[in-house]
Amino acid sequence: MLPSLPRSFFLMNTSLPFDLNPVDNALFQLACALRDGGYSFTTVTPATHERVNNRKGNEWANNLQGVFGWSRPFQIDILPAPIWELMNRAEVAVPQGEGWRSSVRLSSLGGQLFWHSAFPTTNDDAVFFGPDTYRYAAALQSLFASGLPIINRAVDIGCGAGPGAILTALAHPQVEVLATDINPAALRLTRINAALAGAANVAARRSDLLNDIEGDFDLIIANPPYLVDASERAYRHGGGPLGAGLSLAIVEAALKRLAKGGTLLLYTGAAMMDGSDPFRSAVEERLAGFEGAWSYQEVDPDVFGEELEGGAYAEADRIAAVVLTVTKVS
């Protein structure tokens, strides 16, 4: 049984939060309604998502998690009328066969909800959110708990749906936080997600790395794509050797723009070859002569194991999730 929602909820808050346009405001209100109804959903890997959806009985959604989490087709009569109304106002209800499906997903993280692309993420402008996002958030929370020096300005490079920038902003409400990406769809959802979290100190800006914004930063964070993707989808393809190209470009850009005492946190993936870590070696080369301290940690030794079956990773031992932290001397 789906929860009934008071009609009064949809008649209030008609002003546009965070200067959102009417369509984006409807998506914001849809998330508020789902949150107030107790909605939550943990996004899993694509392989797990596909396995669960392929089980008998999961062909059609029969609850809100099925519609907005599992991205299953649905019939209109399973939704409360106000939810269906908001979906149409937000332009996220798309026809599928004899029913409908949502073009976006809504996932839980750190007590917040985040809109991102529906499954499967096949479009070139898909906005990523998944298990890497949870590990990235954990790395950020660990960094914040360690006691950062006073920071005034932070940037999340390649912000995607905005979780890094938003969690940073909530932990440091006095800090100016820029969320940058080259994908307009990502910047749009970041603005909506920031409004949903009440993170008023987040500003979403279009930038290729740090090339289109000025100044130095006390905190630079990033969770870039790090795989070699045959279709070169922006949210997944890291480019360069074994998918490390974008991650290394972020390191190079960040080292030039860190303020004194500033910190870079990069969550990414590293393909291990013959027992060695080529990505770490490339990072060490770039840090030669850098005045500061750094650490490098494997936070998961084996991710995206299916990539080892062929292609660019046919000779790789494994792909590890790693966190690089660099702090410039004061």
Res 2 pLDDT > 50: no
Over range 6-27, report the average pLDDT: 65
Res 8 pLDDT > 70: no
* Complete domains list, the chain, with CATH: 7-117 (no CATH), 131-328 (3.40.50.150)
**What is residue 14's predicted lDDT score, i.e. its pLDDT?**
40
Residue with tokens 């290394």: 248
Report the percentage of the chain scoring pLDDT > 70. 95
Res 188 pLDDT > 90: yes
Over range 180-192, report the average pLDDT: 97
Over range 102-131, report the average pLDDT: 96
* CA separation for the pair 322, 297 (Å, rounded): 5
Helices 163-171 and 184-197 pack at an angle, to 10 degrees, of 30
- The whole-chain average pLDDT of the chain stands at 93
Res 144 pLDDT > 80: yes
Res 154 pLDDT > 60: yes
Res 287 pLDDT > 80: yes
Residue type, 298: E
231 φ, ψ to 5°?
Answer: -90, -5
Over range 182-187, report the average pLDDT: 97
Give 20-77 pLDDT, tens digit per residue.
999 999 999 999 999 999 999 999 999 999 999 999 999 999 999 999 999 999 999 9
Q: Are 201 and 169 in contact (CB under 8 A)?
A: yes
Comparing C-alpha atoms, which of 105, 100, 157, 99 is closest to residue 126? 105
Over range 103-123, report the average pLDDT: 96
Res 11 pLDDT > 50: no
Q: What is the value of pTM for the model shown?
A: 0.93
Give 223-247 pLDDT, tens digit per residue.
999 998 877 877 788 888 899 999 9
Over range 140-169, report the average pLDDT: 95
288 is written with which tokens? 């030669």
Enumerate residues 6+ apart whose C-beta is below 8 A from 276.
none
238: how many CB neighbours lie within 10 A of its CB?
21
**What is residue 4's predicted lDDT score, i.e. its pLDDT?**
40
